[in-house]
Chains A and B, each alone.
Chain A
Amino acid sequence: MKLRNLTERFLENLAEAVDSLSVGSTPSSLNPTIAVLSALVLTGTAAFSYGFALPALILAISVVLVLLAHSSVRQWTKILLFVSVWVALVSAPLPFITPGKSIAVLSLGLIELGVSFEGLNEMIAFISRTTAAAAIFTSFASAMGWRRIVNGLEGLRMPGQFGLFLNLSIIHIPLFLRETAKMLSARESRIVRKIRIREVWRVLSTVVGDLLLRGYERSWRLEKAINARSFIPLEPSLKTPSTAMGIKDFLLLFISLCILTLGVLSVV
């Protein structure tokens, strides 16, 4: 596979993922404020939990949420696998550096590395915590979409400017990723003879500078566009109609608080 195709495919897939996350899977009937509050509570509980029971429970809840919301299970699983592999790499030294009962010894030439039971336990607990936290947050994100998450954060009294910035980021990240792919193609189309990979990279790396300039240009125009339609001296807000609380919201909040209580009790 050619490098260019791989890069372009990566950029396009990333843009597609951000796009799909910004809209969400189905029009959710959940109150965004309650859903975001629950997402934060459950993510926090998963991230700071001890042992395996709570992460496993939260992982199960996220699976149920993904299935109920008819989100793309494949995409969600891809994200989880990516997170798990990444965390496994980061936590790989733990079994070797944590003191404790040695269960195996790895011989690497002159060096011998001892694998401790406590370290292995730490590593697995870390992976499960992180995966569960990522799983629950992405399940909410894929069900609600970033846009409703921003609405929820606004409902939690987040400053209006922050909401606007988040919304703009959600819209502009895919645009810039696609623009980058186009710029790479435009540059590569002008490499008309066979040159060394180092030279190719030198040409392609100029995209970074161009992206910065384009980013500045676009943000300058965007500021003008927002100002042109802002009639009041206050910062513009992207308010949307509020959704009333229903039985589903109460149930979700109740489950989240129960899990938080379980988490706190397990620590105490």
Chain B
Amino acid sequence: MREGSLLTVKNIHFRYPGNVQVLNGASFSAERGEVVAIIGSNGSGKTTLLLIAAGLLDPQNGLVLLGEKPLREQLPEARKKIGLVFQDPNDQLFNPTVYDEIAFTLRQLLSSEEEVERKVRQVAQKLKLGNLLARPPFKLSMGEKRRVTLASVLAYDPDILLLDEPTANLSVKYVEETEQVIMNAKNAGKAVVIASHDVEFVANVSDRVYIINEGSMQGGSNAKSILTDESMLKFADMRPPLVLQTLKVLRLESHDNPLTIKDLTEASNGNTHRKQRSSQTQRSKRR
């Protein structure tokens, strides 16, 4: 656990009514300007952990710290600092129009409707929702709904973003847009926590990775070291990113351990440059 983190979740134990134990001592932390991923298979407790981190569920044991103080003592005002995006947009959207959905929090924070409208339009433009503002959110496509849920949270500019399965049911185009939103939030100094079982997506965006299985967590170090550690991934019934698996099948060794296509391209470009340089050196020696 890191000192001085923006969000610290310590040793959480949680069970639902009916004695369904979901979390057994789960811990993680997130700092400003970093993307932390919690990966695990379905039913491993990711969603429950995010609900607890957002102060929406009370654990039987354990502590959530926002800054230095317990989150529970700072509610409900502390919710301004935490933005939670649910896995299923239909669970999150409850306003009659996209405009009202984005304005819901702003109306609690801003004093005039003019300010609210200005801010709504600004966020909508950023997330390409400008022409959908008058539409009911339930009539939109899944990708559009996901953008609305992101906009409704980004509108109040929280310090921490908690994203539950942000790529679930999304086509490639929307996944790339989500990646961009996450990178922008990271560059703006926000702490982003992603719960996902999409290893490729996690490899693309995360700085640190935790692995969760049956409510217990491991890892917490840099993404590359976790996502290349097969024994660690096996702990949560996960597989390494496709690029690594492909290299393994083709028996191609790469010292850089590329996790993404981008990494692989960079690594292969580096190899080409190295080969060119060494052949040039050999030629000059011969001369």
Contacts and interface: CB of A to CB of B under 8 A. Distances in A.
Interface of A: 19, 22-23, 147, 167-168, 170-171, 174-175, 218, 221-222, 224-233, 236-241
A168 B137 CA distance: 13
A241 B94 CA distance: 18
B95 to A, nearest CB: 7
Interface stretch (B72-80, B167-175, B222-230): B72-80
A162 to B, nearest CB: 15
Nearest to A151: B96
A227 B56 contact: yes
Max chain B Cβ within 10 angstroms of own Cβ: one of A167, A175, A225: A225
B206 interface: no
Contacts of A175: 90, 138
B56 A229 contact: no
Contacts of B57: 224
A171 B96 contact: yes
Given A175-B138, A232-B76, A241-B113, A226 B94 contact: yes
A89 B79 CA distance: 55
Given A225-B92, A230-B76, A22 B136 contact: yes
Interface residues of B, number: 31
B138 to A, nearest CB: 6
B128 interface: no
B152 interface: yes
Given A22-B136, A228-B84, 15 more contacts: A147-B96, A171-B96, A174-B138, A221-B92, A225-B86, A225-B92, A227-B56, A227-B76, A227-B79, A228-B79, A230-B76, A231-B109, A238-B95, A238-B104, A241-B113
Contacts of B107: 237, 239
A167 B100 CA distance: 12
A224 B56 contact: yes
**Dominant SS among interface residues on chain A:** helix
Interface string B122-157: 000000000000001011000000000000110010
16 contacts: A170-B96, A174-B138, A218-B90, A218-B91, A221-B91, A224-B91, A226-B94, A227-B76, A228-B56, A228-B82, A229-B152, A229-B156, A231-B79, A232-B76, A233-B76, A236-B104
A230 B96 contact: no
Interface of B: 51, 54, 56-57, 76-77, 79-80, 82, 84, 86, 88, 90-92, 94-96, 100, 104-105, 107-109, 113, 136, 138-139, 152-153, 156
B23 to A, nearest CB: 16
**Dominant SS among interface residues on chain B:** helix
Contact of B94 (A225, A232, A237): A225
Nearest to B100: A238
A221 B136 contact: no
A19 B135 CA distance: 12
B20 to A, nearest CB: 14
A30 B82 CA distance: 39
B51 A224 contact: yes
B143 to A, nearest CB: 18
Contacts of B88: 221
B91 A222 contact: yes
Contact of A228 (B54, B77, B90, B139): B54
Contacts of A218: 90-91
B57 to A, nearest CB: 8
A209 B280 CA distance: 75
